[in-house]
Structure 1
Amino acid sequence: MTPDRQFEKSEIEKLVGEPITDFSSSSGSNKGDNVAGTLLALKVTTAAGKELNLVYKSFPSDNPEQRQYVVQFGIFRTETCMYEKVFPRLKELVALRKAAKNIELPTVKYISGFNDDQNDYVCLEDMRPEGYIMQDKFQSLTSAEVTLIMKEMAKFHALTYFMLRYDGERIFEEDDRVSKLKYNAFTIENPMMIEMGTRMFYGYMENTVTLLEDRDKSLAEHVKNFVGKHSRHSFHALTRFNSKRTDKESFPCIIHGDLWTNNVLFKYESSGGRDAPTQLKFIDFQLSRRGNIFEDLGYFFWTSTTPQFRKLHLDQMLSIYTKSFEDTMDQLDYPKPEGFSRGYVIDKFYQGMLGSYTFMPFALSLQMGDLEAVLEDKDEKVTNGASTNGEKQKEEAQSGPPAIDFDKMMEANNAMMLLRMKKSPRALQRLEDLTREAVERKLLL
């Protein structure tokens, strides 16, 4: 679906569930920003006179490879499940606890969704006309912004922890859609997914050596020595350190799974006043799953704050998180997890910092790498080889698609990520800064 896709009136009426008199659509994001799909902004006037501002997310329109990735990881199915199953259940549980009646989920209003792995979409309220904005992904969030995120993240984790304790694990067995939050690509022991992750994350760390050699040879040598001490499989075990922690150690909950700057919308007391955020909304629950608090915490701090911020404020922010979690459990009138305390959260967070760092070469290439440069390079290759590709497509139409060459697929994936980083000076600077911090913290030993 392209940004200039033309909707039929009946389609919009189906989305909003009522007759409409007028609507318009426009691109909902900057080109290259939305990796997992096409984003459209819709303005709708209903027959009853309501003005609706909506966001319509659908499969990537011009990238078949990305579309395959989206289907494989079931990210649209995950997001509709969160809006249709998890959030309504959380609201029901809050309503049952009198002291918790004022707790509100930091989520946007869900309008509708659909899944068949062909025409999937999610339609949500667009909060931007209400004054909510997204901050620059290349800049660190402020202390006030992170403070608010810690409070709301802890609230969300506490509510989902309570849900798993109150309803029990049977919720994953009684509904096929919810079961995917437990048995997903990040947790299931699927041989193909394990092999893909093993090669992918190891390859991205090798990319890091290549990228840093022209910027800081000493830093590149640290990473090279670190990588050299690991096989692909032992390195992959590091990337799974936080997700493999036991429930007793890490307190099971439903995590966001991709919590970073671009998945948070803020509202402020005044425009430009970043030191006074009043509300926030978490968006893009496409990688949500049963996990533990340290997965979200580690990923967030490495992707959305700077080394200087972490040096000055990390322990303070973890303290704010802990108190908000405890306060939410008190409001729910339910015991907090055994052993849960400020010191425990801080200790366990630091133990998982290496595991969180090993995700960064992958995360940064997706979040801050230059996708447009990759697409332009690909378009050029397609143009130069147009006649050859045309003959190849005719052959495939007659004989069927060729078997997937796993080695070539992984090689192409690593090359694409390397190019994205090379073409983005700010992404390279962030990778260098994070890696230097990892060395200074003695993580890369």
Structure 2
Amino acid sequence: MDEWRARPHVQKFVKAVAKEQGIPEYTIINLTRTKKGEGYSGIIFMITIKDKSSDRELDLVVKSAFTEDEHRNFLPIEDSYANEIHFFTEVKPTLNKFIEECGMRPTNYAAHCYQIHAEVPKEMLCLENLRTSNFELFDKKLILDDEHFSFIFNYYGRFHGYSFALKARRPEDYAKLVAPIRNVFEQFTKIPEGNFKTFLKDTSNTIATYLEVGEDDEIIKKYEKYQDGGIIDLFEKAVTDVCDHTTILHGDCWSNNMMFKYETLGNSRKLVDMRLLDLQIIRDASPVCDLSYCLYSGGSKTEYDNLDRYFKIYYESLSMTLQALGCDVKTIYPFNLLKEHWKRFARLGMAMTFAILKLKCTNQEDIVDLTDNRERHEAARNKYNDRDFKKRVKDVLYHMSKMDAL
């Protein structure tokens, strides 16, 4: 594999991890990497090593940042890796220690991190491969169903609850914990020639052509402010808006950044566990940023219409978590704020959904990502399933309008 051979620093990193795990001599028996469109900031290698002396095998996932200036000058790669490294070295240990001190067992919400390398521009993280514990990715072409959304909203209730509680009980510790976190979403809007802004602007203008006079008049009027670059301004406002009721977010929460575990029951499967992937866009912000992004990018009109029920699932999970940690949910995050925050912060979820849905409606061979040049983006501009994309984004717009969030 060319990418592996071209990165001796990654090979050296894996050797250090293996040695720390008691495998000084090994052979690589499997080596693969992520596909196009699965990660903007670097290359992810999946590696299985085999101990030469004992035949013990170790399955690893190595996230390695792009080192080339052509990528780093136009993408917030340093900030992204700094966030994820901070999550595994500070956020996760601090939250887990706090939870245990409160007499509660923390949820395993992310993979185990074996080792990190923070030197710029060769940032790397080595994580456990969750596939060996029977976790799997959800097919990104498919719509998440009610079972998955019920589970996810319950899960986010617990995940958000940990940070909410730390903030309430130990505000100084929380302030120190979130201070180093960098707003990667905001950085995307500050890159002058970045593909993200061009892509978002072009996609927003394309969506405007889907709206038909006489059928979508109400949406047309509300959508005017998103056209001709307006979506960039509104997105920037959404990702920099400050409020009092914040928690540490997952950040980049579409279905490809989650892994699920199932239990076989006869001829059916039951979802029993999940893990969060890609903690590069963690933020201290309203939980609605996570919830709206997840719902709109992964669901359909059927799931959008069930949002009130998902609100209740989320809030019950949040309430139980906070109560177990000695806090009162009504004081920390009153239920009425969920819908109020949806009106204020769901535009972030909507904007990211435009990008994600276009990716989901594109065949693998035609996918471009933020590292591709403008010519490649131009060539791939119309290589997606226009009919599916049109239907799904219009469903998002109608639901946003219904929630008074458009």
TM-score where L is the length of structure 2: 0.81
When residues 231 and 209 of structure 1 are mapped into structure 2, their CA distance, relative to the original with a 3 A threshold, is closer
Most deviating of 329-338 and 67-76? 67-76
Larger radius of gyration: 1
Q: CA RMSD of the aligned region, Å?
A: 3.9
Provide Cα deviations, 1:156-213, integer angstroms capped at 9, x if missing partner.
111112223334256555x8xx6331x434458xxx9557599965862443333674
8 Å CA contact 1:263, 1:282 repeated in 2: yes
Count of residues paired in the alignment: 396
Q: What is the letter of the counterpart of residue 5 of structure 2?
A: R
Give the corresponding residue for 2:297: 303
Q: 1:42: Cα distance to partner? A: 1.4
- Counterpart-to-counterpart distance in 2, 1:221 and 1:201: 27
2:200 to 204, 224, 227: 204
Note if 1:322 corresponds to 2:282.
Answer: no
Is residue 208–residue 220 contact of structure 2 (8 Å, CA) maintained in 1? no
Instruction: Decide whether the 8 Å contact of 1:268 with 1:274 is kept in 2.
Output: no
* 1:280 paired residue among 271, 274, 280: 274
CA-CA distance at 1:353 after TM superposition: 3.7
Cα offsets for 1:407-428 (capped at 9, x unmatched) = xxxxx75x765654521217x6
Distance (whole Å) between structure 2 residues aligned to residue 224 and residue 417 of structure 1: 27
The aligned residue for residue 30 of structure 1 is 35
Tell whether the 8 Å contact from 2:261 to 2:273 is kept in structure 1 after alignment: yes
Same amino acid, percent of matched pairs: 16
Deviations 1:369-395 (A, max 9, x none): 56743669x99xxxxxxxxxxxxxxxx
Worse-superposed segment, 193-202 or 70-79: 193-202
Distance 1:108 1:156 in 2: 14
Q: 1:264 aligns with which of 251, 258, 262?
A: 258
Q: Distance in 1 between matches of 2:195 and 2:69?
A: 22
1:429 aligns with 2:379: no
Tell me, in whole angstroms, the C-alpha distance in 1 between the residues paired with 2:263 and 2:257: 20
Q: Which of these residues, 90, 94, 99, is aligned with residue 95 of structure 2?
A: 90
Distance 1:107 1:273 in 2: 29
User: What is the rounded CA distance, in whole Å, between the counterparts of 1:89 and 1:145 in structure 2?
Assistant: 28
Task: State the 1:344 CA deviation.
Answer: 3.6
Residue of structure 2 equivalent to 1:254: 248
Task: Report the AA paired with residue 424 of structure 1.
Answer: Y
Rounded Cα–Cα distance in structure 2 between residues aligned with 1:64 and 1:198: 13
Between stretches 220-229 and 203-212, larger displacement belongs to 220-229
- Aligned twin of 1:13: 15
Contact 1:42 / 1:53 at 8 angstroms: preserved in 2? yes
Residue matched to 1:161: 164
Q: Which amino acid aligns with 2:183?
A: N
Change (3 A) 1:65 1:316: farther
For 1:374 and 1:280, the matched residues in 2 are separated by 27
Indicate conservation of the 8 Å contact 1:112/1:122, yes or no.
yes
Partner SS for 2:251: coil
Structure 2 residue runs of 5 or longer lacking an equivalent are none
The aligned runs of 1:178-257 (5 Å cut-off) are 179-181=179-181, 183-186=182-185, 193-194=189-190, 196=192, 201=197, 204-210=200-206, 213=209, 218=213, 228-229=224-225, 235-240=231-236, 242-248=238-244, 251-257=245-251
Contact 2:148 2:271 in 1 (8 A): yes
Change (3 A) 1:370 1:60: farther
- Look up the equivalent residue of 2:383 and give its one-letter code: K
Shift of 1:44: 2.4
Q: Pick which of 9-18 and 274-283 moved more.
A: 9-18
The offset of 1:226, in angstroms, is 5.1
TM-score where L is the length of structure 1: 0.75
Verify the 8 A CA contact 2:141 2:360 in the aligned structure 1: no
Q: Aligned residue for 2:141? A: 138
CA distance in 2, matches of 1:221, 1:420: 30
